[in-house]
């Protein structure tokens, strides 16, 4: 049964259920197109539609990496690229409310794209920066899509190389110490909660400022990386108290020059033994 007019290609069987569409959530790595895994290449090779979530112009370089991944690994002759424009989070709202509203709008847009642009039996891929399992909302949005029940989806996730792994590789370090815990958190949480007792190693992502400065004088080393895997990559490592001001300056200058900055860092408590 064809449902709706025009380009809507959703079909519904006699029980009112749509046949499942295969949706691949593909991690493309956190920078260098060389981070795209063999499994991701294979998945993209069998894709009919790629949904690209466009996060605006400011992070142009990230869009360029995505374009390169598309050009290199997606069979252009038979695959359609569909851009879904992302909405922006309302800064006037309380953070949690803004995120909730923002997610709702994004679910709507994704659902619309899947209904309007994909035919039954086709495979769709969504490209995700880094790894889909780490500080990325795509899998939550897809979960919400499934709960809404308008489209039956068979979802597969292809893991990607995350910014954490690139940070460790570029500094040539292990993120954890032998048998110890590793906390992964955000700049906001670090600023508000500090480092819990018993934790000596903390990886921080999504730091819009310089949350590491809140640990001045607390005996930490820092391994910092910005634009990891990208041509402008910057790495700094050393005792936090000695290098924090330099990192803050470098970060501010990079943001002023390029309009955006992505940085990830490990804070490691120095032990006296």
* Smallest distance from ligand SAM to CB 25, Å: 11
User: 35 or 73: whose CB is closer to ligand SAM?
Assistant: 35
The minimum distance between CB 58 and ligand SAM, in angstroms, equals 13
- Indicate the residue among 11 and 133 with the shorter CB distance to ligand SAM: 133
* CB atoms near residue 72 (< 10 Å): 12
Our CB check for ligand SAM shows the closer of 129 and 212 to be 129
DSSP state of 206: -
Query: Can you tell me the distance from the alpha carbon of 273 to that of 261, in angstroms, rounded to the nearest whole number?
Result: 36
Q: State which residue has the least CB distance to ligand SAM.
A: 130
Cα end-to-end span (Å), the chain: 72
* Binding region for ligand SAM (CB under 6 A): 30-31, 129-131, 134-136, 162-163, 205-206, 225-230, 262-264
User: Which of helix, strand or coil describes residue 200?
Assistant: coil
d(Cα 147, Cα 152) in Å, to the nearest integer? 9
In whole angstroms, the minimum distance from the beta carbon of 227 to ligand SAM comes to 5
Instruction: Pick the closer one to ligand SAM by CB: 151 or 161.
Output: 161
Cβ 230 to ligand SAM shortest distance, Å: 6
φ and ψ at residue 110, rounded to 5 degrees: -65, -45
Choice between 73 and 265, CB closer to ligand SAM: 265
Q: How many other CB atoms sit within 10 Å of the CB of residue 6?
A: 6
Letter string b/e over residues 234-246, b meaning 16 or more CB atoms within 10 A of that residue's CB: bebbeebeebbee
What's the token pair of residue 90? Answer: 């309302």
């Amino acid at each position: 049964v064809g449902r709706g007019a025009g380009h809507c290609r959703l079909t519904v069987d006699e029980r009112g259920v749509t046949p499942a569409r295969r949706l691949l959530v593909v991690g493309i790595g956190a920078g260098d197109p060389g981070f795209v895994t063999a499994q991701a290449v294979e998945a993209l090779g069998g894709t009919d539609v790629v949904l690209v979530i466009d996060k605006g112009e400011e992070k142009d370089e990230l869009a360029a990496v995505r374009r390169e991944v598309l050009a290199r690994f997606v069979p252009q002759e038979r695959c359609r690229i569909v851009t879904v424009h992302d909405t922006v989070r309302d800064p006037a709202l309380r953070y949690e409310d803004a995120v909730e509203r923002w997610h709702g709008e994004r679910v709507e847009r994704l659902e619309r794209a899947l209904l309007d642009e994909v035919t039954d039996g086709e495979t769709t891929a969504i490209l995700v920066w880094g790894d889909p399992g780490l500080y990325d909302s795509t899998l939550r949005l897809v979960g919400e899509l499934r709960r809404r029940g308008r489209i039956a989806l068979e979802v597969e996730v292809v893991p990607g190389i995350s910014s954490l792994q690139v940070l460790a590789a570029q500094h040539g370090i292990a993120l954890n110490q032998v048998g110890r815990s590793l906390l992964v958190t955000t700049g906001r949480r670090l600023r508000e909660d500090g480092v819990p007792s018993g934790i000596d190693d903390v990886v921080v992502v999504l730091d819009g400022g310089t949350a590491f400065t809140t640990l001045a004088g607390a005996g930490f080393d820092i391994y910092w990386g910005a634009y990891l895997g990208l041509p402008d990559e910057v790495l700094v490592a050393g005792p936090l108290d000695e290098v924090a001001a330099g990192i803050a300056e470098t970060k501010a200058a990079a943001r002023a020059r390029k309009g955006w900055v992505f940085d990830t860092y490990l804070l490691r408590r120095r032990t006296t033994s």
